[in-house]
Amino acid sequence: MNIHSFLIPSIIFHLLITSTYSSHNVDLSTDDVSINCGSTGIFPAPNGREWIGDIANPKSASFMQIKGHSTTSAATAKSISGDWVPYRSSRISRSRFVYSFHVGPGPKVLRFHFYPAQYKGFKGLEDLFTVQAGPFTLLGNFSASLAARALGVKSFAKEFCLFIHKNEQFNVSFTPESARSPDSYAFVNGIEIISVPENVSYFHNGDVGVQAVGRKSLVHIDRHTTLELVHRLNIIKESSVPAGGDLDDTFPMWDLRRAEKVKNRTWKVPVDVGFRYMIRLHISQMGLKIIARTSDYKVLINEAIALTNIDLENEPRNDWKRYYYKDYLVTMRGHKEEGKRRISISLHSLDELTVGLQLLSGFEIFKLTNPDNSLASPNPFPPPTQNPSSKTTRIFSSTFRSRNAFSFAALLVISIANIIAYKLRENLEAYNLARESDNNNNKPSAKAERLCRCFSLVEMQFATQDFNSGLIIGRGGFGKVYKGIIIIDRGCRKSVAIKRLKPNSSQGAHEFLMEIETLSELRHANLVSLIGYCNEHREMILVYDYMPGGTLADRLYRLRRMSGSCPPLSWKQRLEICIGAGRGLDYLHTGHGIIHRDVKSTNILLDENLVAKVSDFGLAKQEDMSKLQSHVSTRVKGTNGYMDPHYLHTRKLTRKTDTYAFGVVLFELLTGRPAVDLSLAEEEHILTIWARDRINKGEVEQIVDSSLEEEILPASLKTFVGISERCLREDPKSRPTMSQVVQQLELALEQQDSGPECLESNEVTSVGEERNSASNGQSPMADRHMADLEPSREEQTRRQAVTTTVVPPARRDERKRKPLRLWPWDAFWNRVKQPKKTSPLSDIGDEANIRATKYDWGMIAAATDQFSSNRKIGQGGFGSVYKGVLPTGQLVAVKRLKNDSTQGLIEFTKEIHYLPDLQHRNIIKLLGYCNHREEKLLVYEFMENGSVDTYIGDEVQCDLLQWEVRFKIIKGIARGLVYLHQDSGLRVIHRDPKLNNILLDSEMNPKISDFGLARTLAESDSQSETTRVAGTYGYIAPELFLTSKYSVKTDVYCFGIVIIEIVSSKRVVNWRRMNSYASGETKNFRGYAWELWKEGRVCDLVDERLERAYPEEEALRCVQVALLCTQTLPNQRPEMRTVLKMLEADEPLADPQETPPGNFLLARQYSTGSSSAATYELDDTLER
């Protein structure tokens, strides 16, 4: 093997400065050094250079000394073909030794050559050592044998760039890591020190510095920094290269065998985190001629624009000589435990001609020393006991000493087998590692990487005791699931579930990425939480919260069949489980437009309190919201027994596909049987066929789990069976939505809780009677409309009295539990859950616990054109909002808070802690933040259509809001509030969901924003008290003025006012002024709506600009819901989940109970005491 294929050429890269060219006639320093370690004499190299031995050589003695105890050794076998200098011999030792050089000052290239072979006198030991040059640590805990194995080579070189100061004795030390392994040694085969003239140095002392990617700031790389070459890629061969003199002899030309073909013009290079990197881009001669004429050309580094054709057009033309390059700096932030991340370099051009040309001739990546003057890799080093060759050698030695021939023969056979197995594994690992570096298909998006923790393989092995089979808690076609322990903040341990996917499955790779991308953005109390992932060495591992309750299938039938000791779930527990799972699916459908596609009992997990968590999103599919059709055409995937027949035949995937599968799960809950059971009689193999046949024959009691026979009430059973059958209808359009399913399941639970007293005497046999009346084989119950399954108006009124409490019915037994938390919220809960009071926050807390991206101040300032007034799109008491453009081209909204506002700091702190864990289609997305000195910036997704208040009440803009858009906005706000109150797992009270805080995207979808006044409630609390009544006049609920107590019902009141504003196109803040000026007295906005309601003139409230072009029934429903939401007494108002159902006509409307509007004294019957200490802070005129 020719050693030059591994000696990396350097002259073209190290002899160039930023944006300039080198001359061909540069004189090389005379004190360059090439040491052939462990040898005597002088050895010529093919490039004409001389390698000098370090043993008794007068020439080397004139500039070099060797200190410490060391020896020389030759490799036991010559396995390098071609040029063997300097790899035949080595300087080697089990103790520290130092090379002390006397060389001239200036910038130098320092290159070490390693050939990790078996050396005489050191067999059975392992190379593990640290290399230091002056004050810098170049290599730490370094093993040349492991490095060569990972590279798939026999020998290699490590190259560094540093500066030697005047009169400095340059010492290079090699120290074995005896503390880690008593059998360790250090060695080196060759050392090169090559001088680089000052005028072409890579240091940026005298020039303008290196451009930081994504920022306008420049960074100077001074003489107190050392660099390591970590990657060099040759893309094309230039038509001409430097020629003549010592330069060509010292630095070889480009090695074309290392050139890579460009396919997608994107390169991703894994590098260590926690370091800065200098990236040098070399522009080809063809590129210099064409790039300035192309219409649009960009080079992106880490998805940020680094170089464009405009940049080159602005460069002086006389600098465009033979070799042109640009330097850039990036910082790879992260903890050492994270291992490696990838630097991406990509080319983009809209010119088809330019696309076919190689505009880059190559690039280099250099690692810069950290503040500890170290370049050592932060990756954990494997323990020395993992070295099979060392074990084998010691076994042979002990065998020879014992002279036991029989034992020796046996051990010899075993050793040979081990060596063969080890070599096969070594080759396989090298092959996999090479494939991993070339194939980045398993790499999650940058956003997913930010939201999830990236574990190393070593961490996963430690967590599972090297994937101990005794820790397996599940297995399937995907692979195995282990119970593990990981280390979290401050050394605390956490139980997790670790899913290890089969590495040889291409489908597994797709599901692996789908799971990461999907779950990283989802936050719901009934969805399993993804903590992180690992994708090292071809492994695909997912880390979830551990669910002690196992799967629903385990609790229903698996454990009962295996041991018989598992107690069966009660009917009430089963109802609460399916309600929770249904809410999770409803959140997927309505909150994110995601179809799960594999809903089944094994994918519903249970925590220690039997709270259901939907899991396994490997087959999930995102709806295309830009298209009108309600289905997605796709290959059919799923599980037998749960497959939707319509999807199976048409390949059209819809939300109702999940509804069908959920219906199968409901029958599993009722019967205690799996979806498919081949151990039963043939007619009972398929659960749904058998169960529906029994129902049609009026034999419902025969399908009920025997453990439930004495427990389940007929009314609850009737409701449950009815909705289960509707889920299984052949036509997807006739199946209910998941929201409707949850509604009926909640009704079944309430009927079970209410007991027999709420039932009529003939309801006990009504189910069977209805089944016997079927004549066409179709269940009458399945044909009934949803309204027929709901209670009467009187019963609904009684039911509202139960459900208007803050805690939903499905969680009544959970009131004493601690609030649900989503990692990493533990530290934040300690701050926000203060008893009965709130104090201003002095800082933003531990930034390590913030899941939002931290942006650089310079990047945001550049994105907003230095916060130009032309970019300002909003202003208020908090500060100003600017439109910005990130280096990637993404539009953002930047909120710049006033630095002298205490409330502004509180708002900033809450948003960066709240919003990253609130993921919903109708909640604004926080992209990141910036905390720079006194400046506090929040960066959001940009909302093209502004806030709703800019339309309502505006004579021109209001015409854009047709009724369909208004109704869409109203329902979207309701969904967002339902998520905050009930489904996020945090029980967030917004406290100010007014029109100004409702933003509209390009498709007029509403997004709730501004969480500066938000609070959270524990599960055991129904309300909380505040010492400061904050909000906007007209939106504040009456009870806050009397009791200073807020609850989810304060948001409900505010939402009712918002509905009236949207329907009428009248603003509550303007209503008070206009009516006061017109008539001399102040009219109540809500009271005006109430008067029209009583007089039967609701249509007079609707905006007259609509000219009656709206469904009257929908408008009446909106006004009635608004009046129910704004009832004076909080316990009269419905919850937001009920409000949403009423808006969607899935819940009957009750008549609002009127307490005279504005007469707050009558509301004291609700109050348990007024708070005289409350402070009013009202926002009356602020327009955002």
Binding residues for ATP: 499, 895
Nearest by Cα to 127 from 181, 88, 72 = 181
Cβ pair 596, 582 in contact under 8 A: no
Name the amino acid, one letter, at 730. E
- Where does residue 650 rank: exposed (0-12), middle (13-18), buried (19+ CB within 10 A)? middle
Provide the 3-class DSSP secondary structure of residue 562: helix
Strands 453-454 and 530-534: parallel
Residue position matching structure tokens 């396994």: 616
Residue position matching structure tokens 């008549």: 1151
Neighbours of 596 (CB within 10 A): 27
Residues whose CB is less than 8 angstroms from the CB of residue 964 and which lie 6 or more positions away in sequence, other chains included: none
Residue 100 phi/psi, 5-degree rounding, is -110, 115
CA 458 from centroid of its chain's CA atoms: 21
Name the amino acid, one letter, at 885. V
Residue 882 phi/psi, 5-degree rounding, is -125, 150
| E runs forming strands in 302-389 | 304-308, 324-332, 340-349, 360-368
What dihedral angle (degrees, nearest 10) is formed by the CA atoms of 844, 849, 853, 857? 30
Residue position matching structure tokens 């004549």: 775
Range 1139-1168 burial, b when 16+ CB lie within 10 A, else e: bbbbbbebbbbbebeebebeeeeebeebee
The yes-or-no answer on residue 598 being catalytic is: yes
CA 1046 from centroid of its chain's CA atoms: 33
What are 857's two structure tokens? 């101040």
Cβ pair 162, 170 in contact under 8 A: no
Nearest by Cα to 279 from 315, 306, 312 = 306
* Residue-by-residue DSSP string for 968-1033: HHHHHHHHHHHIIIIISSS-EE-S---GGGEEE-TT--EEE---TT-EE--TT-S-EE-SEEEEET
**Does residue 265 come out as left (phi exceeding 0), alpha (psi in the -120 to 50 range) or beta?**
left
DSSP-assigned letter for residue 274: S
Whole-number Å distance between alpha carbons of 240 and 230:
26
Residues whose CB is less than 8 angstroms from the CB of residue 624 and which lie 6 or more positions away in sequence, other chains included: 632
Catalytic residue among 311, 554, 598, 1179: 598
Whole-number Å distance between alpha carbons of 599 and 660:
9
Cβ pair 681, 702 in contact under 8 A: no
Residue 252 phi/psi, 5-degree rounding, is -65, 165
Would you mind telling me the total number of residues written for the chain in this entry? 1184
First-to-final CA distance of the chain? 70
Residue position matching structure tokens 């800019």: 950
Neighbours of 888 (CB within 10 A): 12
Residues whose CB is less than 8 angstroms from the CB of residue 25 and which lie 6 or more positions away in sequence, other chains included: 245
Cβ pair 271, 341 in contact under 8 A: yes
Range 535-544 burial, b when 16+ CB lie within 10 A, else e: bbebbbbbbb
Q: Active-site residues: which are they?
A: 598
